[in-house]
Amino acid sequence: MSMSKFTGFLGAGIVTLSLLVPSVVAQAQEKKIRIGVVYDLTGPLAGGGSELQYLGAKIVLDHFIRNGGVEGYQIEPLYADAQSKPDVAINEAVRLVEQERVDMLLGFYSSAQCVPVAARVEQLKKFMWITTCISSAVLENRHLKYVFRPQVSGQLYGRTATDFIANYAREKFGKEPKDLRVAIIHEDGAYGVDVSKGDEAGAKKHNFVLTMKEGYSITTPDLSALVTKLKRARPDVVFHTGYNPDITLLLRQAREQGLKFGALIGQGAGYGVYDKLKESLGRDANYLFNIDPISIWLANEKTLDPKLLPLVRMVGEEFDKIRPGAAVRSAHVGTSASTTYLFLSEVLPRAIRKYGGIDSESLRRAALDLELPEGGTMQAFGVKFEPAESTLAGQNQRAFPVITQYVDDKAYVVWPKSQQQREPVLPLPAGMTYSYR
């Protein structure tokens, strides 16, 4: 080959290489996972806890973005507002998948949204990581392949609440469990119905006197008739599952009509937003109970994996910047922070390293591989997902809720004993608005 031909060949090669190298480098730099994040940022569910869940997820997503992503993948969240409406939640999920080309979906607060959205996402063969909604109906007997919930299943709420009351019946109420009068009231969506089933099963287990069980719509403008029925039922304990403003409406009308009881056990959702309760109820928010996965700031640090402690502090500090002066760091914030961190720190890196990518199948296999002992999450419980053949496929079988009580603007874990920070105040002290003493 002549020198001139060789020089021309080399020059062409250099030109070609110079065109290819930036393209290769750009591809390496642009490797990312697009995550569709769906919560209720407007409508009644926003103030009932969904906006706080969104904040917890965003804090953790931002943390990973600041620290360069995961295994060479940049994190690109695309946020959507479900507007407290199931049809909007479905439409936004489909839009994110089909138009925005997200690789997966994360979030979802309302069980009434989760049930239809999970089915639609499964049809689209996209991976769905549920941070919040707890109804058993989301997963039970559906054998979904790509939907996973690291969170607690709803009927555990009711069973845990009734176990708690049964344990203290003699000591605090001076009654045998079989003589204890209880009432179950709930919003009539998938969430409230599911929790109420657990309440009823627990009431039967402990032979409580079930004086009333009734649901209502969260959009109802008047709950006075329900309050009248509660007065006639004369319960020692009320188990209530609601969002907000229905909680406020119920307790305001209960105050006006003179309803009395020994204890009110709130079961998640609006009862996990203490600032809202205090704002609307004043001193009557004192001594209310709430059942939820444990607040990451109340979990016994000695039971947690030590590597999680700096993350717990970081989430708290970031939340304090966003909501300065909040009396209680809501468990809602910690719930979504913990579950989002679990995906980004455990599932995603395993999918990339072991299964070669971020497609739905790789994420599914990585989730099924995950096995963490108690204390392996910021919420103190472990992780092991039910397999596809299980009646609750995709459910974390090691998750559990706790019961907290608000006392003088602080939240204390009072059940189970393994996480207990103080003895519960039962029944309501004399002189309180709803106290029957």
Q: What is the pLDDT of residues 137-151, one digit of tens each?
A: 999 999 999 999 999
Q: What angle do CA 297, 300, 301 make, to 5 degrees?
A: 80
The pLDDT of residue 27 is 45
Cα dist from 105 to 69, 80, 102, 290, 356, whole Å: 17, 11, 7, 28, 19
What is the pLDDT, as a whole number, of residue 155? 83
Contacts 24+ apart (CB under 8 A), 135-140: 135/111, 135/190, 135/191, 135/193, 135/194, 136/194, 136/197, 136/392, 137/111, 137/190, 137/193, 137/194, 138/111, 138/114, 138/190, 139/392, 139/393, 139/394, 139/395, 140/391, 140/392
Task: Provide the pLDDT for residue 188.
Answer: 94
Helix (H, G, I), strand (E, B) or coil at 311: helix
Is the confidence at residue 19, as pLDDT, over 60? no
**Once rounded to an integer, what is the mean pLDDT over residues 217-226?**
95
> What pLDDT band is residue 300 in, cutting at 50, 70 and 90?
confident
Q: Report whether the peptide linkage leading into residue 150 is cis, meaning its omega lies within 30 degrees of zero.
A: no
Q: Name the nearest CA neighbour of 63 among 345, 329, 332.
A: 345
pLDDT, one tens digit per residue, over 34-47 is 999 999 999 989 98
**Domain range summary for the chain, segments of one domain joined by +:** 31-152+304-384, 155-292+401-419
pLDDT single digits (tens) 346-362:
999 999 999 999 999 99
Tell me the pLDDT tens digit for each residue of 147-174.
999 999 888 888 999 999 999 999 999 9
Chain centroid to Cα 413, Å, comes to 18
- Band (pLDDT 50/70/90 cuts) for residue 4 is very low
Other CB atoms within a 10 A radius of the CB of residue 191 amount to 31
Which tokens hold the place of 11?
Answer: 């020059």
At residue 195, the pLDDT reads: 92
pLDDT (mean) for 176-185: 98
Q: Which two tokens stand for residue 142?
A: 């559906």
How many of the other CB atoms lie within 10 Å of CB of 180?
24
pLDDT digits (tens, 9 = 90+) for 54-99: 999 999 999 999 999 999 999 999 999 999 999 999 999 999 999 9
pLDDT confidence bin for 5, thresholds 50/70/90 = very low
pLDDT at 435: 96
Greatest mean pLDDT range, 3-12, 220-229, 267-276:
220-229
Question: Which of the residue ranges 28-32, 94-98, 335-339 would you say has the lowest mean pLDDT?
Answer: 28-32
Domain 31-152+304-384 is found in CATH 2.40.50.140: no
How many other CB atoms sit within 10 Å of the CB of residue 307? Answer: 9
Cα–Cα distance for residue pair 90/96, rounded to 1 Å: 10
d(CA 284, CA 434): 8
Confidence class for position 24, pLDDT limits 50, 70, 90? very low
Q: Tell me the percentage of the chain whose pLDDT exceeds 70.
A: 93
Is a pLDDT exceeding 90 seen at residue 6? no
Q: What is the mean pLDDT of residues 318-322?
A: 95
| pLDDT tens sequence across 281-293 | 999 999 999 998 8
Q: Render pLDDT for 413-430 as a digit per residue (tens, 0 to 9).
A: 999 887 899 999 999 999
Residue 29 pLDDT: 53
Mean residue pLDDT across the chain: 91
d(CA 369, CA 385): 8
pLDDT of residue 1: 47
Q: What is the arithmetic mean of pLDDT over 231-248? A: 94
CATH homologous superfamily of 155-292+401-419: Response regulator (3.40.50.2300)
| Token pair belonging to 294 | 């444990």
Rounded Cα distance, 359 and 214, in Å: 44
Please answer whether residues 244 and 270 qualify as being in contact, where contact means their C-beta atoms are separated by less than 8 angstroms.
Answer: yes
Contact 56, 293 (CB under 8 A): no
Q: Which of 241, 159, 250, 271 is nearest to 208 (CA)?
A: 159
Q: Which of 197, 169, 194 is nearest to 181 (CA)?
A: 169
Closest listed residue to residue 396, CA positions, set 36, 57, 157, 131:
131
Please say if the pLDDT value at position 15 is more than 50: no
Q: Do domains 31-152+304-384 and 155-292+401-419 have the same CATH topology?
A: yes
Angstrom distance (rounded) from CA 61 to CA 52: 14
Separation in Å, CA 68 to CA 61, 63, 74, 310: 11, 9, 6, 18
pTM score of the predicted model: 0.80
